Amino acid sequence: MRIVWLKTELLHPIDKGGKIRTYQMLRELRREHEVTYLTLDDGQAAPDALERASEYAHEVIRIPFRQSPKRTPRFYAELARNVVSPLPFAIAKYRSPEMRAAIRSLLQRGEADVLVCDFLFPSINVDRDIPCPTVLFQHNVEAAIWARHAQVASHPLKKMYFGEQWRRMRSFEGAECRRFDHVVAVSLEDEETFRRDYGVQQVSNVPTGVDTDYFRRSRTREPRPNSLVFTGSMDWLPNEDAITFFAREVLPLVRAQVPDVTVTVVGRNPPAHIRALAAETPGIRVTGSVPDVRPYLEEASAFIVPIRIGGGTRLKIYEAMAMELPVVSTTIGAEGLPLRPGVDAMIADEPAAFASAVVSVLRDPAQASFIGRNAAERVRREFSWQRVAAAFGEICEAVTSQHRPEQLPV
């Protein structure tokens, strides 16, 4: 099968959940199928990103693209211009006539059996009259993220802005899901949302996976007592909100019972206000980008996921589980993952309940070890990337066969 895979970035460095899922799935699909990776390129990828693309694709087509860094004058000017647009800003910023032309040229040569749009964002550049089957790979229900932003925003202007972006995203996302031949979600919950909210009938789901060989305890480090760790891209608003919420509303409650508790926040591009929060809150350390998260996971007593905003599924949870860490997550943080509360992870939402769950695993090593062992055994048994990619490939082949013209008798 010849797959054209659309993306808005080269994958290296593989430093956030969406990149990890795409990389692992494409690396497996490449073994069985021919993959052409067509992407925008804003010049921010690693110096060896193009060279290393051979790990997940047979051919790479790059479209030069300029994206304004967040919190710069140009970024705010683009936000202002977007006020009068019907498109959500998160989509409009990826509009590229050059990418649209490249997709059209490639497909008109008849060199694709199926086109996969990875995330909703590249779809702004996909024509409606595509001459091959199309699959929209939805890592999240994007509108749900903006709805939750609006719900938790305290400033009236932010609440109004997020609410408007949610309405635009809901309209755009629904229309795009209905026009693609098939939608692939990353959980049964997301699949049901696409059916219920958008009226999408051709939709299925593949689970989240984990590299069970990579994420495995080395046994060379001992966990530091009363140490918590959080991993995630810190330039993603849901992660920023999660750490702010934990530091201000949960950590004081934990510290009242475990005074020496520490929190390590591991992830790329932490904004100034997160660094400032760490500086003014004893016991919080912000690392920024790191070459390997495993040492930080091995040194921790527990893994926290205090996420209040988001969609899709959190790969970080399966990574922590594979490292035998007890996970304490909100319901939204664990959304879409078939976890058994109290067996695979601890689930709590309100600050007092979340703090109580954290204190419980810190004070009871036997409970923490029980949860960590169960979690590791389960992800190794059920959630390898080989199984996930095979399921995705089967969906693409089914979509392709449904659109293949019947052979006429000679």
Tens digit of pLDDT for each residue in 91-121? 999 999 999 999 999 999 888 999 999 999 9
147 Cβ contact list (under 8 Å, min separation 6): 166, 170
Q: Tell me how far apart the alpha carbons of residues 254 and 248 are, in angstroms, rounded to a whole number.
A: 11
pTM assigned to the model: 0.81
Nearest partner of 189 among 173, 205, 169, 177, judged by Cα: 205
Fold of 2-209+385-403: Rossmann fold (3.40.50)
pLDDT at position 48 is 96
Mean of pLDDT over the chain: 93
Is the pLDDT assigned to residue 399 strictly greater than 80? Answer: yes
Q: Report phi then psi at 117, rounded to 5.
A: -95, 110
Per this entry, what is the length of the chain? 410
Q: What is the pLDDT of residues 46-88, one digit of tens each?
A: 999 999 999 999 999 999 999 888 878 888 888 888 888 899 9
Q: Tell me how far apart the alpha carbons of residues 99 and 103 are, in angstroms, rounded to a whole number.
A: 6
Q: In what side-by-side order are the strands of the sheet with 302-305?
A: 284-288, 262-266, 227-231, 302-305, 327-329, 346-347
Fold of 227-382: Rossmann fold (3.40.50)
Is the pLDDT assigned to residue 404 strictly greater than 90? Answer: no
Burial class (CB in 10 A: 0-12, 13-18, 19+), 218: exposed
pLDDT at position 84 is 82
pLDDT at position 199 is 97
8-state DSSP, 201: -
Q: Which two tokens stand for residue 281?
A: 């809150």
Q: Sorting pLDDT into bands at 50, 70 and 90, what band is 410?
A: very low
**Common-topology check for domains 2-209+385-403 and 227-382:** yes
Taking the domains of the chain in order of start, what are their residue ranges?
Answer: 2-209+385-403, 227-382
